[in-house]
Amino acid sequence: MNTMRTVLLMTLLTLVLVGAGGALGGQGGALFALIMAGVMNLGSYWFSDKIVIKMYRGQEVQSGPLYEVVTELVQQNGLTMPKVYTLPQPTPNAFATGRNPQHAVVAATEGIMNILSREELKGVMAHELAHVQNRDILIGSIAATIAGAISYMAHIAQWSMIFGGGNDEDDNPVAMIALMILGPIAAMLVQMAISRSREYGADATGAKFCGNPHSLASALRKLEMSNKQMPMQRVNEATAHMFIVSPLSASKLAGLFSTHPPMEERIRRLEGMQ
C-alpha cells in the first residue's frame, strides 16, 4: 500500500513539474530546470553519508551496544552490514543515509543509549535498516530533484515578470503567477506526503526486522517526549526529515507541514500489528 502511494505521489509531483514547465517555457523550460536540480541533488545523494556524518560530528564504531544490535539485526534478516556511527548529541535520535545498501550508514546519538532498553534500541535500528533496504534515500533524492526543479522554475518566472519577460503573445501571465505562488507549495506538500509514506513503510518493515512492533512503538513514544523536552541543537533543517523523529521544535500548526507523520498514528499502527 505504501509503495503504491509513493508511486502515485511521485507521478503527481512529475505532473506538477510538467505543468510548471509548460507555464514557463514548454518542455525546454522543464528539462533545463530538471537538469539543474538533478546536478545539485546528485552530488548530495552520492555523498550524503559523508556530508551528514561530518555535519553532526559522527564517529564510526565497531563494537559496543549499538554495533552489536545492528549486527544482530543484519544477521537475523540477511541484510548487508552498514557502517555504524554514534553522534555526540545528548538528544536521543537516529537516522540512516547512503545511496544503497552497499554504501549505507546508520547512526544514533549518544543520548539514545540513556533512555532506551536493548529491545527498544533494536526496534529503532530496525527502522533505520528498513529505510536502507527500502531504498528510501534514493526515493527522497528523486523527489527532492523534481521539487527543486519546480522551485527553480518558480524563481525564473518571478524574475521574468519583474524584468519584463513574459510579454510574448504565447505567454500566459496568469499561468506564470500561478507557477510562482502555487508551484513551490504543491511541490512541498507532495514531497512531504512522500516522506510520511516512507516513514510508515519503514515502521512496518522495521517491526518485521526486529520481530516486536511494540518495542518500536515504545521507543518512538520515548523519543518523541525527549525531543519535545530537549530539542536537538544546531539542526540543519534540510536533514531533519532523515531522523526517526523530528528533531525540530515545532508548534502544532507547523507540525501539519512536518515531513514526519503524526506520532500518535505511527504508534497506533505499530500496536495494531501482530
User: Which of the residues are catalytic?
Assistant: 128
Query: What is the C-alpha to C-alpha distance for residues 57 and 94, in angstroms, rounded to an integer?
Result: 14
214 annotated as ligand-binding: no
* Residue 241 is assigned to a ligand binding site: no
Long-range contacts of 53-61 (CB under 8 A, 24+ apart): 53/85, 53/97, 53/105, 53/107, 55/236, 55/239, 56/87, 56/89, 56/107, 57/87, 57/88, 58/85, 58/86, 58/87, 58/107, 59/85, 59/86, 59/87, 59/88, 60/84, 60/85, 61/85, 61/86
Give the whole-angstrom CA distance, residue 211 versus residue 142.
31
How far is Cα 106 from Cα 49, in angstroms, rounded to an integer? 9
**Binding site residue list for Zn(2+):** 127, 131, 199
